[in-house]
Amino acid sequence: MIRGAALCLLLAACAVAGCVVPMPIEAEPIEVNLPPYFITEAASPPLNQLIEFDPELEDLIELRSGPIDDPNPDDRIYFRVFVDYRPSGRNPIIFQSRAAGRSTKDLIDGLVLPFEPCADIPNIRFVEEDVHRIELVIADRPFLGDDEELPDEPTPRQALPEGAFKVRLVWFVRLDGGRCAP
């Protein structure tokens, strides 16, 4: 009888233990970082076209990016604007986002940049070139340091952390800097 009871307990323990099926460990899906994007046709003035600017008739050009978004909903958007950017030169930042970046919800209408060529192009009255490249760099991570902090960086002031993405919008403006008021 004791033998039968022990056998029953052993079988019951095996049955109970056999019924416990461990759940498979599900790996958290790894979010893939995707680049921010904009709608080329929504930019104004049109991208990659020459804008004629007469400083005697106008003060500024309103550069509009059009809507900016990012497929990663938690990404923030950071931007910097350069004029005549040269990787080997000192490149002043004309405009930039705040340190915390901006939510894509705030960028449904995009960025509006009041660009004043006579004031925003460094030393415009002494520059021989009459066509200037305005570059808006949009990133999904904060930009890394400046030239002094990253002396070997191939694109100073545009460097990003590993895995980050950037897109560029470019406008070309022609003006005679000698016609800008002193």
8 within a domain of the structure (yes/no): no
Asked if residue 94 lies in contact with residue 115, where contact means CB atoms within 8 angstroms, the answer is yes
Q: How confident is the model at residue 4 (pLDDT cuts 50, 70, 90)?
A: low
Helix, strand and coil percent figures for the chain, each rounded to 5:
20, 25, 55
Is the preceding omega at residue 45 within 30 degrees of 0, hence cis? Answer: yes
Give pTM, 2 decimals.
Answer: 0.79
**pLDDT over threshold 50, residue 9:** yes
126: helix, coil or strand?
helix
Domains held by the chain: number: 1
123 within a domain of the structure (yes/no): yes
21 within a domain of the structure (yes/no): no
104 within a domain of the structure (yes/no): yes
154 within a domain of the structure (yes/no): yes
161 within a domain of the structure (yes/no): yes
77 within a domain of the structure (yes/no): yes
**pLDDT over threshold 50, residue 147:** no
Q: How confident is the model at residue 159 (pLDDT cuts 50, 70, 90)?
A: confident
DSSP H or E run through 11: helix 2-19
Rounded distance between C-alpha atoms, residue 81 and residue 158, angstroms: 10
Q: Provide the domain limits for residue 164.
A: 33-179
122 within a domain of the structure (yes/no): yes
Name the residue with tokens 């897109």: 167
Higher pLDDT, 38 or 27: 38
Listed range (110-114, 115-119, 176-180) with the worst mean pLDDT = 176-180
| Chain segment 36-90, per-residue pLDDT in tens | 999 999 999 999 899 999 999 999 999 999 999 999 999 999 999 999 988 777 7
- Give the amino acid at 170: V
Contacts of 18 (CB under 8 A, 6+ apart): none
CATH of the domain at 159: 2.60.40
